[in-house]
Amino acid sequence: MLSYRHAFHAGNHADVLKHFTLWLVLDYFNRKDKPYWYIDTHSGAGLYDLGGREAQKVGEYRQGIEKLRTTDENLPPLLAEFIACLKNILPAENLYCGSPWLAQAVLRPADKLRFFELHPTDFSHLQHNMQEVRLGRRGILKQEDGYRGLIALLPPPPRRAVVLIDPPYEEKQDYARVIDTLKEAQKRFEQGCYMVWYPCLSREESRKLPEKLKKLAPENYLQAELYVHTPRADGFGMHGSGMWIINPPYLLAEQLKECLPALTRLLAQDDGARYVLDYKQ
């Protein structure tokens, strides 16, 4: 089933957490004068029009990136840098980036990008959007299953890589496939930096995913969760989201510790907003 379209949710609170964390990780990898690969298993369209029909139908960006763009509050320096980066890399104010657009703007000429997207409509949009920046030999786009595509690429030639696994979780199988894919990926490329985004839902699969992820690398992980409101009484909907990182940069925990309180305060929708930061390195 390929019904999920991220255009309806672009720029929401989950995107803010995901892209801010990704930006911090890529910035860390850029500090070392050695090339690396960025592999995105569920790339989406790459770029989204917040003024378009899909984004306007739900309007989730108003409770997400728009809060950061319009706040009068003095943001922590790293958050302020992130917002400035977005302003610099986006072609127009009404646009918001997906992870491919952010990554292609941040990576250096010697680094490589590998994008997978299975949905035909989103893949078509991804092709069009990536043509705008002329990836050339830096990037390869494939309309393939990203789980399988990732495994086929490992280990990458430079032995340095950031991997983002970001499925929609609209099917229960996604939870199991994330774990199975990571197990296989670690066998082939143990030192990779693996980033997993997941929704915080009332459903059992969502609640149990973190404990399963923890077993994959119990001595070297980072978990960051951002809850924006109290779970609904009917159990419906996403009240938060999380990022799980295996082999995280050593700076990341302190960076998030400085910024998550401000993010929680700015994106809170009721007094149930909170964050979780757990790590072991």
Cα separation of 70 and 87, whole Å?
12
* C-alpha closest to that of 33 among 139, 135, 111, 112: 111
* C-alpha closest to that of 60 among 233, 195, 242, 228: 228
* Residue at 139: amino acid letter: G
CB atoms inside a 10 Å sphere around CB 190: 13
Q: Which CATH class is domain 12-280?
A: alpha beta
Q: Could you tell me which residues are beta bridge partners of residue 225?
A: 242, 276
- Token pair for residue 53? 């029909």
Cα separation of 165 and 103, whole Å?
14
Cis omega (within 30 of 0) for bond into 155 = yes
- Token pair for residue 60? 């989730």
> What is residue 3's predicted lDDT score, i.e. its pLDDT?
54
Write phi, then psi, for 54 (nearest 5 degrees): -65, -50
- Token pair for residue 84? 């400035």
* C-alpha closest to that of 243 among 61, 46, 17, 38: 17
User: Looking up tokens 């009917």, which residue turns up?
Assistant: 234
**HSE, side-chain direction, 13 A CA sphere, residue 140:** 11
**pTM, entire model:** 0.96
3-state secondary structure the chain: CCCCCHHHCCCCHHHHHHHHHHHHHHHHHHCCCCCCEEEECCCCCCEEECCCHHHHHHCHHHHCHHHHHHCCCCCCHHHHHHHHHHHHHCCCCCEEECHHHHHHHHCCCCCEEEEECCCHHHHHHHHHHHHCCCCHHHEEEECCCHHHHHHHHCCCCCCCEEEEECCCCCCCHHHHHHHHHHHHHHHHCCCCEEEEEEEECCCHHHHHHHHHHHHHCCCCEEEEEEECCCCCCCCCCCCEEEEEEECCCCCHHHHHHHHHHHHHHHHCCCCCCEEEEEEEC
Give catalytic residues, as residue numbers: 166
Q: Tens of pLDDT along the chain (281 residues)?
A: 455 668 888 999 999 999 999 999 999 999 999 999 999 999 999 999 999 898 898 899 999 999 999 999 999 999 999 999 999 999 999 999 999 999 999 999 999 999 999 999 999 999 999 988 888 889 999 999 999 999 999 999 999 999 999 999 988 899 999 999 999 999 999 999 999 999 999 999 999 999 999 999 999 999 999 999 999 877 778 999 999 999 999 999 999 999 999 999 999 999 999 999 999 99
